[in-house]
Amino acid sequence: MSLKNLINEINKKQSFLCIGLDTDINKIPSFLLENDDPIFSFNRSIIDKTHKYCIAYKLNTAFYESNGASGWVSMNKTIDYIKQNYPRIFTIADAKRGDIGNTSKMYAEAFFRKMNFDSITINPYMGADSVKPFLEFENKFSILLGLTSNIGAEDLQLKTTDNDYIFSEMINSSKSWGDSSNMMYVVGATKADYIKKIRNIIPNHFLLIPGVGAQGGNLDEICKFALNASVGIIINSSRSIIYASNDNLFADSAAREAIKLQSQMKEILSSRN
Amino acid sequence: MSLKNLINEINKKQSFLCIGLDTDINKIPSFLLENDDPIFSFNRSIIDKTHKYCIAYKLNTAFYESNGASGWVSMNKTIDYIKQNYPRIFTIADAKRGDIGNTSKMYAEAFFRKMNFDSITINPYMGADSVKPFLEFENKFSILLGLTSNIGAEDLQLKTTDNDYIFSEMINSSKSWGDSSNMMYVVGATKADYIKKIRNIIPNHFLLIPGVGAQGGNLDEICKFALNASVGIIINSSRSIIYASNDNLFADSAAREAIKLQSQMKEILSSRN
């Protein structure tokens, strides 16, 4: 998907919500377990009921891999279902991959060509040549870890070099590997103080911000510093939407939670015009 | 596998060779493509002919994922084949995973329980809580990226903080997350100058050293600085072994290359006693 189409969809839907399909076989309603592929059945229902309110779905690969090869089948079916039925929705493989060049190329082939994701999250610890193979695919996005929201961010990302925080140095050196048409950054929502700093370094890039909802970030606070002229943010919420209830109406409950967030987003977007 | 059993196997075989099964459907002998699962057929032949000379096999997950769900089936079959036929061989999922706690736990389940790998490579950029879920499995190893051999190491790992290189800081802060019975480090072979430095920080941990062979590291040079009283290193070679020839005798050619490296290792181990 092109950057232009993503921005169009955001404006049309008045939403910058991404729903995280962190689908855990132990957390889905038990009646789904009778289906051939309970994970896919769950995802399909969630997608059908929520697609009007979000502009992206993010699949966390760990949740699929924990079911082995059959988990990969569920992931494939889910991405195909989105692409066939809701082709304007942006898709994110939350895979946090990254390796030496010839290996990253294989990952890019897997996620961009074999599975047709629009984007993939990437761990930039191995540097430019670990990211560049992903950037060679047109209308695909590499979403680099900028600053993560977990406590472990302090162990490395928040240490300082002679000049700056390590995460800052990383964003500064990586921003020229591509541009805002093929790169985005993951920025932890609970670190709103740092978003301003990051916006100074990369005013134009989209930021993927996880952690609203179950992880406790505040939407208004984040938007205050993160929004740019093209909106420029995608806010992810996973558990608080997809596990809103555990009964026959789980997908309707998810839609209700998605609408709540989308309404707040609409209000935020209106108030700035 | 326990650390003790790994060390026993190294001493018995007089080898610290790991063979990297970076199996690429485009590089294997074409007559194998007639088989149901060419990737597994290739791996099985390589394993049967080389298992006497190596103490570990490393499966690079990217090469399997590039074939989608069927690639995961090939990976499963390969790990099962090794475990059933050569249970004393150490197995490494070269997956470079790492995410927030509940996600890392899913990856650990996938690779340690669902697939029964003995170890997995981990990208430590997200800090302690991204690694700890892997450390909770007994007799399993987390192999953290220490310093990688690619040019991109300069973009982040080789920058300096107030105290030291970033990679050094990372090894220093991470070494206490576990100990040498459940953690190892990846150290790029082409950076022999740095190995001495790393050995000062972690004298007892095993180092997984890729890059001997196709990537051009020098075995004697590495051993001079990296060996410790328990040997303490696993040297990986992938392409120069598994693609030694492309004919009917590809597995014998691979064995010949493995023997060459194992002989050098035997000599190095003998000369220090």
Instruction: Work out how many domains chain A is built from and give that number.
Output: 1
Judged by CB atoms closer than 8 Å, whether chains meet at B169 and A160 is answered as: no
Residue of B109, B156, B173 with shortest CB distance to A125:
B156
DSSP-derived 3-state class of residue A185: strand
- CA atoms within a 13 Å half-sphere pointing along the CA-CB vector of B59: 31
Of A49, A96, A140, A191, the catalytic one is A96
Contact criterion met (CB below 8 Å) for B116 and B83 = yes
Q: Is B72 on the interface with A (CB under 8 A)?
A: yes
Q: Which residues numbered 118-137 in B keep a CB inside 8 Å of some CB on A?
A: 123-131
Are A166 and B162 in contact (CB < 8 Å)?
no
Can you list the residues of chain B whose pLDDT is less than 70?
Answer: 189-190, 213-217, 273
Interchain contact B26–A (C-beta under 8 A): no
How far does A144 lie from chain B, in Å, by closest CA?
12
Q: Which residue among B98, B114, B154 places its CB closest to the CB of A127?
A: B154
- Note whether B62 contacts A: Cβ–Cβ < 8 A: yes
A48 to A60, A255, B243: CA distances (angstroms): 19, 9, 47
Q: With contact defined as beta carbons under 8 Å apart, do B21 and B78 qualify?
A: yes
Please state whether beta strands A233-237 and A119-122 pair in parallel, antiparallel, or not at all (unpaired). Answer: unpaired
Contacts A148 to B, Cβ<8 Å: 100, 126
To test the contact with chain A by mutation, choose from B116, B123, B135 the residue with the greatest count of A C-beta atoms within 10 A, namely B123
Look up the CATH number of the domain holding residue A29. Answer: 3.20.20.70
How much is the pLDDT for B195? 92
Residue B240 near chain A (CB below 8 Å): no
Candidates B65, B160, B166; nearest CB to A110: B65
Is any Cβ of chain A less than 8 angstroms from the Cβ of B150? yes
CA A205 to chain centre: 14
What was the pLDDT predicted at A216? 54
CB-CB contact of A167 with A157 (8 Å): yes
* Given B77, B83, B96, B175, the catalytic residue: B96
Residues of A in contact with B60 (CB under 8 A): 99, 103, 106
E strand or H helix at A184: strand A183-187
Which of A121, A116, A122, A123 shows the shortest CA–CA distance to A89? A116
Q: Which residue of B has its CA nearest to A71?
A: B69
The amino acid present at A140, given as its one-letter code, is K
**What count of CB pairs under 8 Å joins A to B?**
190
- What is the torsional sign of CA B39, B40, B42, B47? positive
Is A58 assigned a catalytic role?
no
Tens of each residue's pLDDT in chain A, 273 residues = 999 999 999 999 999 999 999 999 999 999 999 999 999 999 999 999 999 999 999 999 999 999 999 999 999 999 999 999 999 999 999 999 999 999 999 999 999 999 999 999 999 999 999 999 999 999 999 999 999 989 999 999 999 887 889 999 999 999 999 999 999 999 986 777 899 999 999 999 999 999 776 555 588 889 999 999 999 999 999 999 999 999 999 999 999 999 999 999 999 999 986
Residue B157 domain boundaries: 3-271
Cα A77 to Cα A44: distance, rounded to the nearest angstrom = 9
Compare all CA atoms of chain B with the CA of A164 and give the residue at the minimum distance: B161
Answer whether A201 touches B (CB < 8 Å). Answer: no
Question: Cβ contacts (< 8 Å) between B111 and chain A: which residues?
Answer: 65
- DSSP H helices, chain A, are 3-13, 38-50, 61-65, 68-85, 101-108, 128-135, 166-174, 192-201, 219-226, 239-242, 250-271
Closest B-chain CA to A95 = B97
pLDDT tens track for A7-66 = 999 999 999 999 999 999 999 999 999 999 999 999 999 999 999 999 999 999 999 999
A139-161 residues labelled b (16+ CB within 10 A) or e (exposed): ebbbbbbbbbbbebbebbbbbeb
Q: Hey, are the CB atoms on A126 and B73 less than 8 Å from each other?
A: no
Cβ A127–B99 below 8 Å, yes or no?
A: no
Residue A214 has a pLDDT of: 54
Indicate if ipTM > 0.90: yes
Q: Which residues in chain B are contacts of A70 at CB distance < 8 A?
A: 69
